[in-house]
Amino acid sequence: MDVWSWICELPNSDEWSPDSTSELTFLLASSTPTELSKTLQLKARRKFSSNSDLLAFTFYISYEEKALWVSDTCQVNSENPFLPLVLQLIQEIISRSPTAHDSITTACPRSQLQKLKPDSVSWILDSHSPESFSTFFNLVFLARLFWLCACDAPSEVGSLYFNSMLAPNLEAFSSTNTPVLRAFFVSAGIDVELSVMRTFGYMLTKWLMLRESGIGLQLLTPSYNNLGFSYAAETHGLWVLKGYAPLMAMTRCRSNRVNNGYPVFEAKESVLKYALAHQQIEAVIQLEYSVEIKENFILVNARVDNIRIHMAKLGFNKNDENPYMHERHFPSRIRVWIGPEAGASYVTSLTLGKSTENIEKEIETQKTLKGSFGKTKVATMKTVTKTTTRTKARTWRWDQDSDGHVAILDATLCDNMTGVEVALSRPYAGDGDDNGPLNGDQVGQSLQKRYTGANRSFTKSGNWVFNEGLEGVKWRLNKEMEGSVLKWRIGGQFWVSYFPNEIKSSHFETRCVEWCDEVDLPLILGAY
């Protein structure tokens, strides 16, 4: 689907009729390759007059002879004739995007928080070729049609959309194919970014749920585990990596009962399955770096500034009366790595800043001696010994490691009662029966009601923020690299787990997603 190339060729197309009003049609989808009576079309209508040349687009259902959507008019002879079209599509996506239930957008008008500035789009149009902009436009166009086809049209239109439009273009929703989307987010700001990515997450969740059910959607065969988006940037002395992925697109690492790759839910837990599916991980990694030019070498320092994991629940109402809708996954392990590009020979050494923990144990021994004296045939002397071991344990364990000259930072959530790593464990059965624990590794009940209480490991809204001023890492580089801009690798793996929180259920699972990108490291004096 290359709608953008077709649009760009329209103003100079020789197929326009000389009439005052004429139209051309782009076929978006059809029920079968040979059955053209049931199609989804994009129509371009051009109106000529003595002092104007206007163009408008219509999303059209052929078999109902009905237009579901009409664009604003575009001035063909203007400098950016299709800027109004792109602005309209993105703004309508923002106005319809699902909100995270704990988001500030639920309390504030979206018109104030997410107003799209035309300059952020016109800059993208001017600075990218039509070929590179085409993927970005397809993403925006597919997202806008999702609300039309899945929500505002007959079910047959929705089937056409998922089968013939979304499924063949799913690859566009991976991080490797969206450099223009990255530039757009940097230009448009975080509020627009969240709205667009939550729309992408919601529509991908619906597609993945339909693929799993397989009801009447035989063409939904592609299997993608990397659906989502991430990008990295260098800004103001920070390396920043951001990542988004709907939960169902994350790789399942551990679960309980499994049938054909999917966990088996009881009928009463269908609401739980629906609630857990409508989540999206939104991760931000910020590493602070600095460069020191020494006499014989260059010293590069990096330390964790902030790691934030947000498990956003995508939807349109809070459903406060249903406890299942409040259940959510939680971060259970975060692994971040940073270092020079592969094959780099200009790094001479790496210094880690944190030793492997050697936990001290405090042992308390108590001895009691009892005895009796007198004329007895049986000795009555008794000795009682009591030993107490005290260990200081933290809920999150933080480690540093290395792979060559790449520094690895690893944070692991541990059960504060058993010390077992949560991402690799099984919870106690929570079905209300006295059946004891499930088979396998066990954790205690400390993670129940994990979003309340003074000793909770997460925020009240179920998120996780890490910033403890940990020791940094250092690289020494050859002095000859001064004045150059190097590429530095940054990546992360994120595990999220689900254990029942406020409800009784035996369901649990752990999923994982991985992202990797490159950032700039300027070794230029005065560039910091």
pLDDT, average across residues 500-514: 85
Which of 168, 184, 219 corresponds to the end of one domain?
Answer: 219
Task: Check whether residue 195 and residue 108 sit in a common domain.
Answer: yes
- Residue 148 backbone zone (phi > 0: left; psi -120 to 50: alpha; other: beta): alpha
446 & 414 share domain: yes
pLDDT number for residue 198: 93
d(CA 58, CA 66): 10
pLDDT at 440 over 50: no
> Which contacts of 69-74 are long-range, i.e. CB under 8 A and separated by 24 or more positions?
69/144, 69/148
Phi, psi angle pair for 485, to nearest 5°? -115, 115
Q: Whose CA is closest to 59, among 88, 35, 17, 83?
A: 88
Flag whether 388 is in a domain. no
| Residue 381 in domain | no
Residue 82 has pLDDT above 80, yes or no: yes
**Percent of the chain clearing pLDDT 90 (strictly above):** 32
- Whether the predicted pLDDT of 430 surpasses 50: no
Whether 109 has a pLDDT exceeding 80, the answer reads no
- Range with the poorest average pLDDT among 409-423, 436-450, 490-504: 436-450
pLDDT at 282 over 50: yes
Q: Which of 69, 467, 431, 435 is nearest to 285 (CA)?
A: 467
pLDDT tens across 185-210, in order?
999 999 999 999 999 999 999 988 88
- How far, rounded to the nearest angstrom, does the alpha carbon of residue 9 sit from its chain's CA centroid? 36
Is the per-residue pLDDT at 451 higher than 80?
no
Q: Are residues 235 and 161 in the same domain?
A: no
Residue 418 lies in a domain: yes
One-letter identity of residue 273: K
Res 436: pLDDT? 40
Q: Structural domain tally of the chain?
A: 2
Find all residues with CB under 8 Å of 526, minimum gap 6, and list them.
none
Name the pLDDT band for 442 (thresholds 50, 70, 90).
low
Q: Tell me, yes or no, whether 372 lies in a domain.
A: no
Residue 499 phi, psi (nearest 5): -125, 145
Give the integer Cα–Cα distance in Å for 503 and 473.
Answer: 43
Measured CA angle at 231 (ends 473, 225), to 5 deg? 105
Tokens matching residue 145: 């049609």
The pLDDT score that the predictor gives to residue 156 is 86
* Closest C-alpha to 110, from 21, 2, 192: 192
Stretch among 86-100, 153-167, 437-451, 472-486 having the lowest mean pLDDT: 437-451
Residue 95 belongs to a domain: yes
Indicate if 413 and 471 belong to the same structural domain: yes
Among 164, 189, 219, give the residue marking a domain's end: 219
Confidence of residue 273 (pLDDT cuts 50, 70, 90): confident
162 with 236, same domain? no
Gap between the Cα atoms of 501 and 210, Å rounded? 27
Dihedral in degrees, nearest 10, Cα atoms 261, 422, 505, 501: -130
Q: Tell me the sheet residues that pair with 48.
A: 53
Same domain, 203 and 243: no
Predicted TM-score (pTM) of this structure: 0.84
The stretch 499-511 carries a mean pLDDT of: 83
Domain assignment present for 367: no
Highest mean pLDDT among 164-168, 357-361, 366-370, 475-479: 475-479
Domain range for residue 243? Answer: 228-356+393-528
**Cβ proximity of 21 and 185 under 8 Å:** no
Distance CA 484, CA 88 (A): 42
The answer to the question of residue 233 being in a domain is yes
Buried b (16+ CB within 10 A) or exposed e, 5-26: ebbbebbeeeeeeeeeeebbeb
Q: Are residues 200 and 257 in the same domain?
A: no
In this structure, are 76 and 133 located in the same domain?
yes
Where is the domain boundary, 186, 219, 252? 219
pLDDT per position as a tens digit, 5-18: 999 888 877 777 76
Measuring CA to CA, which residue among 450, 463, 428 is closest to residue 502? 450
> Are 99 and 18 contained in the same domain?
yes
311 and 162: one domain? no
Residue 144 has pLDDT above 80, yes or no: yes
Q: Which residues pair with 229 in a beta bridge?
A: 244
Per-residue confidence band for 435, with pLDDT thresholds at 50, 70 and 90:
very low
Residue 297 carries which DSSP code? E
Residues 328 and 283 in one domain: yes
* Residue 527: pLDDT over 80: no
Which has the higher per-residue pLDDT, 302 or 217?
302
Confidence (pLDDT) at 3: 92
Burial call 280-313: b when 16+ CB within 10 Å, e when fewer: bbbbebbbebebeeeeebbebebbbbebbbbbbb
Query: How far apart are the C-alpha atoms of 61 and 449, rounded to whole Å?
Result: 49
Query: Any bridge partners for residue 100, and if so which?
Result: 314
SS3 letters across 439-450: CCCECCCCCCCC
**Domain match, 102 and 175 both:** yes
Question: Do the Cβ atoms of 140 and 89 come closer than 8 Å?
Answer: yes
Look-up of token digits 């040349």: 53
Residue 374 forms part of a structural domain: no
Tokens of 5: 């190339």
The set of residues, in sequence order, having a beta carbon less than 8 Å from that of 222 and lying 6+ positions away, is: 167, 170
